Chain A
Amino acid sequence: MDWVNWLVSTVSRALAFGVPLLWGTLGEICAERAGVVNLGVEGMMILGAFTAFAVAQSTGQPGLGLLCAALVGGGAALFHAFLTVTLRANQYVSGLALSMFGLGLAGLLGRGWEGKPLAATLPTLTLPGLARIPVLGPMLFQDQTVLTYAGVLLAVLLWLLLFRTRWGVVIRSVGESPATADALGIRVSLVRYLCVGFGGLLAGVGGGYLSVAYRPAWTEGMSAGMGWIVIALTIFAAWDPLQAIWGAFFFGALYHLSYRLQAYLAPELLKLMPYLFAVVVLAASGFGGARWRRRAPGALGLPYVRGER
């Protein structure tokens, strides 16, 4: 078996499959760094997928579709923020509800849009010059859409924002100890709204990628559980945008290999591989314990009420 072919196709597919995971994970990191768990990623992604498809189909502009997907994802996230920050509802329940609501609403709105191929898809790029580098070219600089590179860039920017700017300190302090942040005069609710909303934008784009680039068509439930993988990846990445990059692409590689290796290993076993990996990571983060847990935002999942505790 030609190992160059293996390497090239595995990395190339890992990137293509990892893109929606990366965008979703960056969004979730953003929300969770401010202390809000949003289990509604699946719902925001599917709403993004439908919106992007419907807009791209009607206007012929996949870019506009992605923009609208971002807005819809952000809007859905703000709804979650309203319930959990303003009304202080349980974040887990509200997030789950958002996922179910998103799946249902997208399914309902999507009636009549299925079975229509999308003419205006997000083009794949062949980067001039770079694509001609042997091995690396076809691996990294061909057959990818702009969202692959934008996602990596965004991860770096988000890391800089979180760990190298004053804004990052503000966001992290809201996630670590909202009472302290509040005492310092930081508007906890505003920060949380912004972070959750921005996270929703990214999840919306991740979903939009699915329907205008990855597999350009609309079918009900097409996000097929990616939103839940995002939740696991967020923990795996230890809420660090840079780690999210290789986490998402590593998961993409495992997912692709689970089909590539079928000729050699039992398919049932391979099918488990990516999910087994997620479970192992979650278990490791539970056991491995203190170090990992210390990296989780201190006030994650807790509503903030001024004056309590």
Chain B
Amino acid sequence: MKRIWAVVLAVVALGAVALGATRIKAGFIYVGPIGDYGWTHAHDVGRRIVDEKYDWLETVYVESVPEGEVETYIDLLIRQGCNVIFTTSFGFMDGTLAAAQRYPNVIFAHCSGFKRWANMATYMADFYQVYYLNGLMAGALTKTGKIGYVAAFPIPEVKRHISAFAIGAREVNPRAEVHVRWIYEWYNPAAAKEATEALIAEGCDVFAFTEDSPTVVQVAAEKGLPSFGHYSPMYDFAPDHVVSGQLVHWEKIYEDFLVKVHKGIYTTKNLAHVDYWWLLAQGAVEVGAKPGMVINPKYEAFLKNYVINHPVFGRISVYDLVFIRLNQMADPGITFDPFQGPIYDRKGRLVVPAGMWMSYDALITMEWAAAGIVGPWPGEP
């Protein structure tokens, strides 16, 4: 009998050890405050969703970490017992790589970068397809033919968004212009406000943006002008004026990654080629004014009545066009991409040959401006 108990105890103990080994404590390092209602807020929403879903998972986070100090905070989190570390800013890339080399037994994942290591993966949920869909609607909604776009920094990610948006707008309205203002900050409500006011003064009447606050939506709504939300659901800020927007679901990537770590599929040895580039088809991004609302019902009738002559689909309403394109991109066997050749940049050069799509490398290093974009474009080839 005693022997049986001993065996039972041993099994239980071993089980506990095994369980302990697969318990995950994931540390998140954020570049901004979780209260920004933009980038960092969205990552934190993803973290909380996954944390609540799995018993074997514990998460901690540090916010507002300066980009140069990421290693200090990685050290701190590892001392607190984290065995998986997520760093969520492009500027954390080199610090994360250095830490990955110093801590070969910890798993790292860096968001939006391109450097990987045996124990360091990369991940990104990109919006360019969604911006294109929003562009289709914006092209129909503008009366002046001028669409305003408030942009954070002239980096490839933002340029890709603006170009995809402009391509969408021009598909519906070949004379549409996308006027761009740069604020050189991810988060500065006053800058975003004055940039929007400047665009309004110049006659823009529909707005989209890439920066981290709902400012553009609010300013446009004060003047009764439609806009597209970005990152977090911004419908509530202007229920009559937010047409649609980009929504992110970081939890899809965090869940997939952490479950694979938990199951032992991802280890500290095999991450050198793990790169998540998740789009509509993977559910990491969504088009809509808020989750589940692709197009604000207030704009449905207008978009259904706005019929164009489309080179592929013939006579079609913009409303139907949005959903056809959405399905083409959301379907796992993607049959359409906004950057589908032939595409000419605004200087008239052929940048994507007919029948071709852009490669991943070309997308993440993209510098050219699509036709229809008006305004300064630092680094334009």
Q: A and B: real partners?
A: yes
A interface list, Cβ under 8 A from B: 5-6, 9, 13, 17, 107, 110-111, 113-117, 210, 214-222, 224, 226, 255-256, 258-260, 262-263, 266-268, 271
User: Most chain-B Cβ atoms within 10 A of its Cβ — which of A217, A220, A226?
Assistant: A220
Across the interface, B33 reaches (CB within 8 A) one of A6, A220, A255, A258, namely: A220
Q: Is B244 an interface residue (CB 8 A)?
A: no
Q: Is B181 an interface residue (CB 8 A)?
A: yes
User: Looking at the complex, which of B85-93, B260-268, B342-350, B373-381 is the stretch in contact with chain A?
Assistant: B373-381
User: Do residues A215 and B193 form an inter-chain contact, with CB atoms below 8 A?
Assistant: yes
Across the interface, A267 reaches (CB within 8 A) one of B190, B218, B236, B378, namely: B378
Q: List 23 A-B contacts (CB under 8 A).
A: A9-B198, A17-B194, A107-B33, A110-B35, A114-B37, A115-B236, A117-B214, A117-B236, A117-B238, A210-B189, A215-B190, A216-B218, A218-B35, A219-B35, A219-B36, A219-B213, A220-B33, A224-B187, A224-B188, A259-B197, A266-B376, A266-B378, A267-B376
Q: Is B195 an interface residue (CB 8 A)?
A: yes
Q: Is B201 an interface residue (CB 8 A)?
A: yes
Q: Is B184 an interface residue (CB 8 A)?
A: yes
Chain A residues with CB under 8 Å of B376's CB are 262-263, 266-267
User: Closest residue to B201 on the A side, CB-wise?
Assistant: A9
B153 CB to nearest A CB, Å: 10
Q: Is B215 an interface residue (CB 8 A)?
A: yes
Q: Is B163 an interface residue (CB 8 A)?
A: no
A150–B214 Cα distance when bound, in Å, is 28
User: Do residues B375 and A262 form an inter-chain contact, with CB atoms below 8 A?
Assistant: yes
User: Do residues A114 and B215 form an inter-chain contact, with CB atoms below 8 A?
Assistant: no
Please list the 5 inter-chain residue pairs (A to B) with the smallest Cβ-Cβ separation, ordered nearest first: A220-B35, A9-B201, A220-B33, A259-B198, A260-B198
Chain A residues with CB under 8 Å of B197's CB are 9, 13, 256, 259
User: Closest residue to B150 on the A side, CB-wise?
Assistant: A259
Chain B residues with CB under 8 Å of A6's CB are 201
User: Most chain-A Cβ atoms within 10 A of its Cβ — which of B33, B35, B36, B179?
Assistant: B35
A89 CB to nearest B CB, Å: 27
Q: Is B183 an interface residue (CB 8 A)?
A: yes
B123 CB to nearest A CB, Å: 24
Chain A residues with CB under 8 Å of B374's CB are 263
Chain B residues with CB under 8 Å of A17's CB are 190, 194
Q: Is B182 an interface residue (CB 8 A)?
A: yes
User: Closest residue to B236 on the A side, CB-wise?
Assistant: A117
User: Do residues A260 and B35 form an inter-chain contact, with CB atoms below 8 A?
Assistant: no
User: Do residues A263 and B193 form an inter-chain contact, with CB atoms below 8 A?
Assistant: no
Across the interface, A5 reaches (CB within 8 A) one of B36, B193, B201, B236, namely: B201
With contact pairs A17-B190, A215-B215 given, residues A114 and B198 touching in the complex (Cβ less than 8 Å): no
Q: Is B161 an interface residue (CB 8 A)?
A: no
Chain B residues with CB under 8 Å of A110's CB are 35
A115-B41, A221-B36, A259-B195 known, 8 other contacts, Cβ within 8 Å: A9-B198, A115-B37, A217-B218, A224-B189, A259-B197, A259-B198, A260-B202, A263-B374
User: Closest residue to A111 on the B side, CB-wise?
Assistant: B35
Q: Is B237 an interface residue (CB 8 A)?
A: yes
A47 CB to nearest B CB, Å: 15
A110–B183 Cα distance when bound, in Å, is 25
A195–B362 Cα distance when bound, in Å, is 60
User: Closest residue to A256 on the B side, CB-wise?
Assistant: B194
User: Do residues B182 and A222 form an inter-chain contact, with CB atoms below 8 A?
Assistant: no
Q: Is B232 an interface residue (CB 8 A)?
A: yes
A266–B34 Cα distance when bound, in Å, is 33
The digit string for B199-218, where 1 denotes a CB below 8 A from any CB of A, is 00110000000000111001
A118 CB to nearest B CB, Å: 9
User: Closest residue to A272 on the B side, CB-wise?
Assistant: B184
User: Do residues B375 and A114 form an inter-chain contact, with CB atoms below 8 A?
Assistant: no
User: Do residues A214 and B236 form an inter-chain contact, with CB atoms below 8 A?
Assistant: no
Chain B residues with CB under 8 Å of A5's CB are 201
Across the interface, B193 reaches (CB within 8 A) one of A214, A266, A268, A271, namely: A214
Across the interface, A221 reaches (CB within 8 A) one of B33, B238, B375, namely: B33
A230–B376 Cα distance when bound, in Å, is 30
Chain A residues with CB under 8 Å of B36's CB are 114, 219-221
With contact pairs A114-B37, A117-B218 given, residues A214 and B190 touching in the complex (Cβ less than 8 Å): yes
A258–B181 Cα distance when bound, in Å, is 10
A192 CB to nearest B CB, Å: 32
User: Do residues B37 and A255 form an inter-chain contact, with CB atoms below 8 A?
Assistant: no
Chain A residues with CB under 8 Å of B189's CB are 210, 215, 217, 219, 222, 224
A155–B16 Cα distance when bound, in Å, is 71
A220–B37 Cα distance when bound, in Å, is 9
Across the interface, B183 reaches (CB within 8 A) one of A256, A259, A263, A266, namely: A259
Chain A residues with CB under 8 Å of B236's CB are 115-117
Chain B residues with CB under 8 Å of A107's CB are 33, 35
Chain A residues with CB under 8 Å of B37's CB are 114-115, 217, 219
The digit string for B210-247, where 1 denotes a CB below 8 A from any CB of A, is 00011100110000000000001000111000000000
B245 CB to nearest A CB, Å: 14
A113–B202 Cα distance when bound, in Å, is 34
User: Closest residue to A124 on the B side, CB-wise?
Assistant: B222
User: Do residues B190 and A226 form an inter-chain contact, with CB atoms below 8 A?
Assistant: yes
User: Closest residue to B239 on the A side, CB-wise?
Assistant: A117
With contact pairs A110-B35, A256-B197, A262-B181 given, residues A215 and B218 touching in the complex (Cβ less than 8 Å): yes
The digit string for B144-182, where 1 denotes a CB below 8 A from any CB of A, is 000000000000000000000000000000000001011
